[in-house]
Amino acid sequence: MSGVPLRRLHPLSGGIWIATSRRWRTTSTVVLGPNREALLVDPAWTPDELEGLAADLAALRVDLVAAASTHGHYDHVLWHRALAEVPRWGSAATASQARRGWPAMLAELGPGYPLSLYAERPPVGALTQDVVPWRGPEVRAIVTDAHQAGHTSYWIPRERVLLAGDLLSDVEVPLLADGDVAGRAYRDGLARLAPFVRRARLVVPGHGSPTAAGTTRLGQDLRWLDAIDSGTPPTDDPRTAEPDNRAEWDRQLALRS
């Protein structure tokens, strides 16, 4: 779109661009609207990567006009002063988690993330309707309690793209919300998403690779939950090669015992 080389963003499909962080392969998504306006979902993660997103939006000559977060964990509510100060949206739970959680979240992020630079402004507002308020293509919020209370996936009907948040990942196994020890809220969340997954041309997880085989990812997440229920590790889940995911298996089993 312009002569300036992009640092991070690359086109995914139609008017959707994504970038993948070095940390946990976290996905940032840009949805282009009319008049070169853009919506940014889950900008992540490191300061140089956040600056890179701002630089890429400038290189593409698009105006950031709105943003949304899939949930209130720190890797999904980051911001940077190089990004325009625009309305940011999330579920009511996400808005309150972001408001209350910053001191602890920034402590987890470690040095280099002063509140004033990366988090304080603009605040995350609570969606009062099930679509993100902006002039671009419809972006519908699907709020569940899988992974974290008020976790929100975003469905873009025009593109048939589902921004899944921290579900349906090829690198992260299902991480259950606090208190969802038996995984019921997670299963309910997957059930809510299932019709959108079936219709999706592409499922874009918050960590890992986009896929045209969303139903395969859905089946893999369900089998992981089944495996935890039975206490027998899944044999066909490549995510178990990752030490953090094996540790998560042990942690979830211990919570149930």
Residue 166 CB, nearest distance to Zn ion (Å)?
A: 4
Assigned token pair, 142:
């699907």
Residue 109 CB, nearest distance to Zn ion (Å)?
A: 13
Q: Does 248 sit near Zn ion (CB under 5 A)?
A: no
**What does 104-146 look like in DSSP terms, one character per residue?**
HHHHHH-TT--HHHHTSSSPEEEPSSSB--SSSS--EEEEE-S
Which amino acid type is present at position 220?
Q
For Zn ion, the binding residues in 159-178 under the rule CB under 5 A are 166
Q: Does 75 sit near Zn ion (CB under 5 A)?
A: yes
Cα distance between residue 47 and residue 202, in whole Å = 28
Residue 146 CB, nearest distance to Zn ion (Å)?
A: 12
What are the distances in angstroms from CA 207 to CA 131, 133, 142, 168, 204?
23, 25, 18, 9, 8
With respect to Zn ion, which residue has the nearer C-beta, 26 or 134?
26
With respect to Zn ion, which residue has the nearer C-beta, 6 or 94?
94
Alpha helices in 110-233 (DSSP H): 115-118, 184-199, 214-230
Residue 256 CB, nearest distance to Zn ion (Å)?
A: 23
Q: Cβ(223)–Cβ(240) under 8 Å?
A: no
Residue 207 CB, nearest distance to Zn ion (Å)?
A: 6
Site size for Zn ion (CB under 5 A) = 3
Residue 191-230 contact track with Zn ion, rule CB under 5 A, x = bound: ---------------x------------------------
Assigned token pair, 187:
């299963």
Q: Does 56 sit near Zn ion (CB under 5 A)?
A: no
Site for Zn ion, rule CB under 5 A: 75, 166, 206
